[in-house]
Chains A and B, each alone.
Chain A
Amino acid sequence: GQNIDQPTEMTATEGAIVQINCTYQTSGFNGLFWYQQHAGEAPTFLSYNVLDGLEEKGRFSSFLSRSKGYSYLLLKELQMKDSASYLCAVRGMHASGGSYIPTFGRGTSLIVHP
Chain B
Amino acid sequence: DTGVSQNPRHKITKRGQNVTFRCDPISEHNRLYWYRQTLGQGPEFLTYFQNEAQLEKSRLLSDRFSAERPKGSFSTLEIQRTEQGDSAMYLCASSRGTGNQPQHFGDGTRLSIL
Contact = CB atoms under 8 A, between A and B. Distances in A.
Interface of A: 4, 30-31, 33, 41-45, 48, 50, 87, 89, 91, 94-97, 99-107
A50 B33 CA distance: 21
A21 to B, nearest CB: 15
Contact of A99 (B41, B55, B100): B55
The number of chain B residues touching the other chain, given as a range, is 20 to 34
B43 A31 contact: no
B100 A107 contact: no
Contacts of B41: 106-107
Interface string B43-54: 111001010000
Contact of B100 (A31, A43, A95, A105): A31
Contacts of A102: 33, 45, 103
Interface of B: 4, 33, 35, 40-45, 48, 50, 55-57, 59, 91, 99-100, 102-108
Contacts of B106: 42
Contacts of B108: 42
Given A42-B108, A43-B105, A96-B59, A103 B45 contact: yes
